Amino acid sequence: MVALVIGLALFFDFTNGFHDTANAMATPIATGAIKPKTAVTLAAILNLVGAFLSTEVAKTVSGGIIREGSDGVQITPDIIFAGLMGAILWNMITWLKGLPSSSSHALFGGLIGAAIAGIGFNSVNLETLLQKVILPAIFAPLIAGLVAYLCTRLAYALTSRHDPETGSKLTQKRGGFRTGQIFTSSLVALAHGTNDAQKTMGIITLVLISAGTQSPGSGPQFWVIAACALAIAVGTYAGGWRIIRTMGSGLTEVKPAQGFAAETSTASAILASSHLGFALSTTQVASGSVIGSGMGRKGTTVRWNMVGRIALGWLFTLPAAGVVGALTALLVKTGVVGVVIAAVAGTAAVLFMFAYSRKSAVGHHNAVEVEEAGQAVRFSKKKAFARARAKANQHKDVQR
């Protein structure tokens, strides 16, 4: 059972990385700052590094949402197995729909559902749930969106160039932001690694402790850290292209300066929150930033019906993963046969979704259409610039 749970936890880590590549790399891919393949490779490496950098979060995972320990209930590997099942299935469904949804919420939801079904309603700490999951879910996109909005306005205000004599627009030369995007998106990927790989480490450590192979209160062992870091890196490299498409071009059109502002806000929000202890979801912060930066640039429209779909997905994340977790917990309760049925059914569901996704494959080649435009611009950059300059000069001459 322990081995099964560890395997499942690592697979959850894989889906987590897979799901969240978009947070870091959707905007630079959309603006053509980095080529898709390079982007996911970079993100994977940085996730790997980030996972090794800090294991603070791992020590406080599940953070008292389920009353564990001596005075509360004992979390068994069964419950964790059920919870992970719920989280993985919900991650796969949202990926199929191309919805960026929080992997941590799916995990919490699955665990909560499993605990309620397996132990009872009093096993869940409602106040902590409100404080650690529901409130951050409301404020994460708000804070990130507002900051990204301000940053986008600032970036455009500071770089808008007008001819001092005639007041006509000069070439704006904002290409520098495209280079900047490489750094900011790397920062987001790093932040993601320091945050999200920790959750799986915490889960595996929890399993090892509950199975009695590790002393309570100790941190994650080295092989656990290494395995989790690898799993999330591989997942990131596999790339959830469907979600990248949504984040990169589904919400709003992203220009380099906007992308730069959005990524800076995302990175600061995640790093600030994980450092100061008010955990915010990476996905929700990133989506909020993209929307905020979309509102910050003049002449851009935010596709609100897409925003609505994503928000709906967020609302359902916790209960849906919870229901799957609860069902699995009930199955597992019946004994070994139940565990086998649950494992087989889960694998079948995942395989089915993979097969289904093949029907309309979204890969690095067609994730974002803007990407081709970006490359085209890169190839004929000098020519385009020369043309633009010539045009501007002509314009001036005419006005004179």
Among 162, 173, 381, 391, interactor with other proteins by CB under 8 A? 173
The answer to whether the CB of 244 falls within 8 A of the CB of 367 is yes
Q: If binding is defined by CB under 8 A, does position 339 make contact with other proteins?
A: no
Pick between residue 277 and residue 299 the one whose CB is nearest to other proteins.
277
Q: Considering only CA atoms, which of 362, 21, 370, 371 is closest in space to residue 185?
A: 21
Could you tell me the smallest distance in angstroms from the CB atom of residue 64 to other proteins? 13
* Residue spans of alpha helices (H) in 277-380: 282-296, 304-333, 336-359, 370-379
**Smaller CB separation from other proteins, 161 or 365:** 161
Question: How far does Cα 29 stand from its chain's mean position?
Answer: 15
Close Cβ partners of 382 (under 8 Å, ≥ 6 residues apart): none
C-beta of 219 vs 319, nearer to other proteins: 219
| Three-state SS letters, 102-141 | CHHHHHHHHHHHHHHHHCCHHHECHHHHHHHHHHHHHHHH
Closest contact distance (angstroms) between CB of 393 and other proteins is 10
Asked whether the beta carbons of 203 and 80 are under 8 A apart, the reply is yes
262 burial level (CB within 10 Å; 0-12, 13-18, 19+): buried
How far is Cα 35 from Cα 244, in angstroms, rounded to an integer?
Answer: 13
The backbone region for 360, taken as left when phi is positive above 0, alpha when psi lies in -120 to 50, beta otherwise, is beta
Residue from the set 155, 254, 367, 368 that interacts with other proteins by CB under 8 A? 155
Q: Which is nearer to other proteins, 92 or 144 (CB)?
A: 144
Residues 191 and 47: beta-carbon distance below 8 Å: no
Number of residues that bind other proteins (CB under 8 A): 45
Question: Taking CB under 8 A as the rule, does residue 333 contact other proteins?
Answer: no
For residue 23, give the nearest of 52, 46, 54 by alpha carbon.
46
Using rule CB under 8 A, residue 174 touches other proteins: yes
The torsion angle over the Cα atoms of residues 53, 95, 204 and 193, rounded to 10 degrees, is: 0
Site string for other proteins, 121-150 (x = CB under 8 A): ----------x---x---x---xx-xxx-x
Q: Which of 37, 161, 162, 391 binds other proteins (CB under 8 A)?
A: 161
Residue of 276, 336, 337, 398 interacting with other proteins (CB under 8 A): 276
Stretch binding other proteins (CB under 8 A), from 39-47, 80-88, 167-175, 306-314: 167-175
Residue 195 touching other proteins (CB under 8 A): no
3-state secondary structure of 66: strand
Interface with other proteins (CB under 8 A), residue from 197, 207, 261, 307: 261
- CA-angle at 195, arms to 46 and 120, nearest 5°: 145
Q: Of 165 and 337, which has the nearer Cβ to other proteins?
A: 165
* 269 contacts other proteins (rule: CB under 8 A): yes
Binding to other proteins (CB under 8 A) within 288-327 occurs at none
Which among 72-80, 152-160, 228-236, 299-307 is the span making contact with other proteins, rule CB under 8 A? 152-160
Q: Which is nearer to other proteins, 106 or 140 (CB)?
A: 140
Give 88 or 232: the residue with its C-beta nearer to other proteins: 232
Three-class SS state of 367: coil
Q: Can you give the binding site for other proteins, defined by CB under 8 A? A: 53-54, 56, 131, 135, 139, 143-144, 146-148, 150-151, 154-155, 158-159, 161, 172-174, 176-177, 180, 183-184, 187, 194, 257, 260-261, 264-265, 267-269, 271-278, 280
